[in-house]
Amino acid sequence: MLLVYLDEAWLNRSVSERQQIYLGQVRLTDELTSKGQYLGGNPLHPPSTATSVRVRDGKRLLTDGPFAETREHLGGYMLIDVDNLDEAIAIAARGPLASVGTIEVRPVRDGPPT
pLDDT digits (tens, 9 = 90+) for 41-96: 999 988 888 888 889 999 998 888 766 666 778 889 999 999 999 999 999 999 99
CATH number at residue 27: 3.30.70.1060
- Which residue range is the domain that position 88 belongs to? 2-105
CA nearest to 80, candidates 27, 41, 26:
41
The Cα 40–Cα 51 span in angstroms is 23
Q: Strands, DSSP E only, in the chain?
A: 2-7, 38-43, 51-56, 59-64, 72-80, 102-105
Q: Render pLDDT for 17-53 as a digit per residue (tens, 0 to 9).
A: 999 999 999 999 999 999 999 999 999 988 888 888 8
Is residue 77 a part of any domain in this protein?
yes
Is residue 114 a part of any domain in this protein?
no
Contacts of residue 99, Cβ cutoff 8 Å, sequence gap at least 6: none
Number of compact structural domains in the chain: 1
pTM, two decimals, is: 0.83
